[in-house]
Amino acid sequence: LGTDKIGFSANAIFVNPVDFANLTNIRTTDGVHKYPELLNANPTIVGIPVIISTRITAGSFLVGDFSKATFSTMRGLSLKLWDQNGTDPMYDRVTITGSERAALWYKTPDKFGFVKGTFSAAKTALSA
């Protein structure tokens, strides 16, 4: 690794719920869970917290040093009340919607602190 790629320490792993379920089902030949640390209330892989999210496509993962990321609110919370939605007036209901626009970003030199990939590509790379 070049000097521009050091100094990062992964502190979170994002996986899809389907992939997480597949990881927890991997067993050794004698039936023992290969990754018992995933069965805890706070699952980890080699001590790094695993975050289960549907925002990650099944078959993909994101590992990163999220201390290098910055969360910014682009537009604050917007709430709207609707009383003309479908049957709301008949049942004396109000529909409430809310939205917010935000971004998670990092500086260009910190891009090496994040790795996004697929499990199939990672398996291929590890077996080569």
In tens, the pLDDT along 51-82 reads 999 999 999 999 999 999 998 998 999 999 98
Say if residue 119 is exposed, middle or buried (CB neighbours under 10 Å; 0-12, 13-18, 19+): middle
Q: What is the DSSP letter of 45?
A: E
pTM: 0.72
What is the four-CA torsion angle of 21, 23, 24, 26, rounded to 10 degrees? 130
If pLDDT is split at 50, 70 and 90, which confidence band does 2 have?
Answer: very low
Closest CA to 82 of 66, 69, 98: 98
What tokens were used for 75?
């537009």
